[in-house]
A = this chain, B = another copy of it.
Amino acid sequence: MIRRDVFQAIADPTRRAILALLALHAMTPNALAEHFDSSRQAISKHIKILTECQLLNQKQTGREIHYHFNPQKMKEVDVWMEQFRVLWEKRFNKLDEILKNQQNKQS
C-alpha cells in the first residue's frame, strides 16, 4: 500500500466498475457491495484506495458514509492522455485522406 496514484487505482477492473457506478450517484459501501460478488470488506478496501488517491470523497450522515466521485482527479488521466490524442487523430486524418483518394479514383 505505497503506490497511490490514479493510474494504479484504475488498473483494477472492480475499481473501474465502482467508479462507473459512483459517477451516476453517490452510494454507501453496503449499497455498492450489492453490485459485486466479492465481500463488503473487499469493496471497502477498494473504496479506501480510491479515497486515498482522491478519486472519491466521503460524506458521513449518521452511521452511513456516502462516497462521491471526484471528476477533477480523473481529469489527471485525461491530461496525461493529451500527448497521445494528437496521434490517433493524425492517423484518422490519414485514413480519411486515403478514403477520399479512393473515391476520386472511382469517380
Contact = CB atoms under 8 A, between A and B. Distances in A.
A105 to B, nearest CB: 26
Interface of A: 5, 7-8, 10-11, 13, 16, 19-20, 23, 69, 71-72, 74-75, 77-78, 80-81, 83-85, 87-88, 90-91
Nearest to A8: B11
Contacts of A19: 84
A91 B84 CA distance: 25
Contacts of A75: 88
A91 B77 contact: no
Among all A-B residue pairs, the 8 with the closest Cβ atoms: A11-B11, A71-B88, A71-B87, A74-B84, A8-B11, A7-B11, A75-B88, A7-B10
